[in-house]
Amino acid sequence: MSGFLASLARIGSYRSLPYAVACAVLTVPISPFAFAAAVSVEADSRVRALLALLALAVLMGLLGLLGPVRRIGIALANTLLGTAVPAPAGRPDAGSRLRSGLWLALHTALSGLLLTVLAFLSLGLLVPAVWLTGGQDRISLFWDEVPLGAWTVPFGVVLLFAALVLSAAATRGFRTGAETLLGPSDTERAAQAERRSAVLAQRNRLARELHDSIGHTLTTSTIQAAAAAELVEADPAGARRALGTIEEASRSALEDLDHVLGLLREEPAAKAPTRTLTEVDVLAVRAREAGLDVRLTVTGPVAALPATVSREGYRIVQEGLTNALRHAGPGAVDVRVEAGPDRLGIAVVNALPGDGPRTGRRGLTGLAERVEALRGELDAGPDGQQWRLRASIPLRAGA
């Protein structure tokens, strides 16, 4: 109770007023039909007024069955009441339509009742003003003539307090009703959960793309920059080649980065990279220029691989060579790509460094996710004095 009384000092507690007024504005086009229905009934004027309000609520409820009206109702509640009802992503189901229609009918009825009561309370606030100005000695109140006096001041204070309490309570009621009846159904919640999962999966994929591309480029560029610094005087041609490798790798990384940023902005990327295993020799050339003794063997119809498999295979080889650049011991790095009729096999083998196996696993985690998404298998780890990275990806269901 104390919390509710404390809320009376906050402006946000009186959001019910603009919300009710907005509903009254929305009912203007429908009101003539409701009044016509009420006038056609032989009854007392007060009964007709009640019938008009009920007819208006029913008509607004029927209007609330429409999908666009539900969207408007949600936007109105979020804007004027401060709720956080998610906007529906698709067409609402029957249950959502019924709840939306019910809420619009209740919204109409409660708004009319709230504005009517507040209007009477506002008229009551004029009583102390009449007495203080000395305009008259008696006033019609509660269907009777009553003498004015000092009692009108506390009477006005009570009416003001009642108006504040009613408005604050109506705000809470409107919020609860809007969140309950305009909120998502079980089907919509499931769809929202799927969309969130898709967004998380997309973010993970983008993280893998950045790690593979930018990480490979930075590793290659760092090694080439160090080599260029040593060769700039002794071997200018070798330094130029090293700088050319840095330029080419950086341009490729910028294309990847532009593509990823385009996805994050939900805009078409300027140039989407489409590197596949048909370009795996480019990776080998860059690695050789960075100082690795790469022995590349490609067998089978690599160009005939499915685009997704070929693209992910390229990333697997790229990550394997990046790790070799960072951690490999002396000796050759063997890269084998075997495109069979039913399965793609990739292996990257290099000598372990003198201080033992590497400890970084983030890149391997990303590779495992890539391979798992293609129903494949990934094996990475030390094998004697060598580090082996092997991936096997089926090309057909059940392979």
Cα–Cα distance for residue pair 94/72, rounded to 1 Å: 17
Q: Are residues 196 and 171 both part of a single domain?
A: no
Please check whether residue 396 is in contact with residue 342, taking contact to mean a CB–CB distance below 8 angstroms.
yes
Show which of 141, 163, 184 is a domain's final residue.
Answer: 184
Average pLDDT on 100-116 reads: 88
What pLDDT score does 282 carry? 87
Show which of 273, 299, 314 is a domain's final residue.
Answer: 273
What pLDDT score does 203 carry? 66
Show which of 251, 273, 295 is a domain's final residue.
Answer: 273
Q: Are residues 341 and 249 both part of a single domain?
A: no
The lowest-confidence range among 7-16, 51-60, 149-158, 244-253 is 244-253
Number of domains in the chain: 3
H or E segment at 337? strand 332-339
Q: Are residues 319 and 241 both part of a single domain?
A: no
Q: Which residue has the tokens 């108006």?
A: 163
Please check whether residue 44 is in contact with residue 201, taking contact to mean a CB–CB distance below 8 angstroms.
no
H or E segment at 144? strand 144-147
Please check whether residue 367 is in contact with residue 354, taking contact to mean a CB–CB distance below 8 angstroms.
no
Q: Are residues 6 and 54 both part of a single domain?
A: yes
pLDDT in tens, 300-339: 999 888 888 888 899 889 888 888 888 777 788 999 999 9
Q: Are residues 165 and 281 both part of a single domain?
A: no
What pLDDT score does 334 carry? 93
Full residue range of the structural domain in which residue 380 is found: 277-399
Mode of pairing for the β-strands spanning 343-351 and 377-383 = unpaired
Look at residue 271 and tell me whether its pLDDT is greater than 50: no
